[in-house]
């Protein structure tokens, strides 16, 4: 039942969209179609992801006020009340960012799954008004075979992942005696891993048969496009940061 819903609402529409894009792309370049489809999905999700990024930025800006509440010495109940009033005053929800990310995950995963399963346009999965592309060219720009692993694309995926993580809002560092709490240490540790460990991990899984899973260059191309779009989106949010500071 769930698999049928998954196919009908997410996987099949994205697969058909990719088939259509391949059919209208000059030379049937699947790599170009992968980039276009990834960008279209990111644009569709832009309002959600934008709100999520802005929520993270807002929480970062409120960190000094939150630290003052922690350092005030009042009871836990009073801290909770003052914190709630602070969020209400600045119209900020600390959980909205997580919720918006969760809403995006099924769509992003479905898009990833289209490339993960390999570019196989089976006629039974295509809608009646979508034809199997006459020409399917897996040689991206006539240079890189994305049906196989690609060292170049794996390296670019790792590099783009590093810069994407580098531009993410940094975890707030407390200046109060409570500094060094588990939450702060965990946040700093996760930030360091996202910035330095995760890019290496991405390279490894895209270029080696990690845990017996072999991923094609199409997945790496998707990852690169996704990261570059996210980097541009984060830069856009950073430019609006001054406006956000004024509002807060």
- pLDDT tens for 56-105 read 667 767 777 777 777 777 777 777 777 877 777 766 766 655 655 566 67
Tokens standing for 82? 């003052």
What distance in Å separates the CA atoms of residue 36 and residue 59, rounded to the nearest whole number? Answer: 33
Full domain range(s) for residue 208:
2-247
Candidates 93, 108, 106; CA nearest to 56 is 93
Number of domains in the chain: 1
What distance in Å separates the CA atoms of residue 45 and residue 42, rounded to the nearest whole number? Answer: 5
Tell me the whole-structure pTM to 2 decimals: 0.74
**Stretch among 32-46, 78-92, 148-162 having the lowest mean pLDDT:** 78-92
State the pLDDT at residue 182: 47
Residue 160: pLDDT band (50, 70, 90) is very high
Phi, psi for residue 80 in degrees, rounded to 5: -65, -40
State the pLDDT at residue 152: 93
Mean pLDDT across the chain, nearest whole number?
Answer: 77
> How many CA atoms does the CB half-sphere of 63 hold within 13 Å?
16
End-to-end CA distance of the chain: give it in Å, rounded.
Answer: 46
State the pLDDT at residue 183: 47
Candidates 187, 156, 161; CA nearest to 173 is 187
């Amino acid at each position: 039942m769930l698999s049928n819903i998954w196919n009908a609402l997410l996987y099949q529409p994205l697969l058909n969209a990719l088939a259509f894009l391949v059919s209208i792309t000059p030379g049937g370049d699947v790599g170009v179609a992968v980039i276009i489809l990834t960008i279209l999905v990111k644009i569709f999700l832009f309002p959600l992801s934008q709100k999520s990024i802005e929520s993270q930025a807002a929480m970062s800006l409120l960190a000094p006020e939150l630290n003052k509440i922690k350092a005030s010495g009042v009871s836990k109940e009073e801290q909770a009340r003052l914190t709630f009033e602070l969020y209400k005053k600045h119209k900020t929800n600390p959980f909205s960012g997580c919720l918006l990310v969760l809403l995006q995950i099924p769509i992003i995963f479905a898009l990833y799954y289209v490339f993960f399963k390999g570019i196989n346009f089976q006629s039974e999965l295509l809608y009646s008004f979508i034809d199997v592309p006459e020409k399917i060219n897996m040689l991206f720009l006539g240079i890189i075979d994305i049906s196989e692993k690609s060292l170049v694309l794996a390296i670019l995926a790792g590099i783009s992942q590093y810069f994407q993580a580098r531009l993410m809002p940094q975890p707030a560092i407390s200046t109060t005696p409570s500094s060094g709490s588990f939450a702060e240490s965990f946040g700093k540790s996760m930030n360091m891993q996202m910035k330095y460990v995760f890019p290496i991990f991405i390279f490894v899984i895209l270029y080696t048969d990690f845990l017996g899973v072999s991923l094609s260059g199409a997945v790496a191309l998707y990852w690169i496009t996704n990261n570059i779009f996210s980097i541009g989106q984060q830069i856009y949010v950073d430019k609006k940061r001054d406006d956000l500071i004024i509002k807060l």
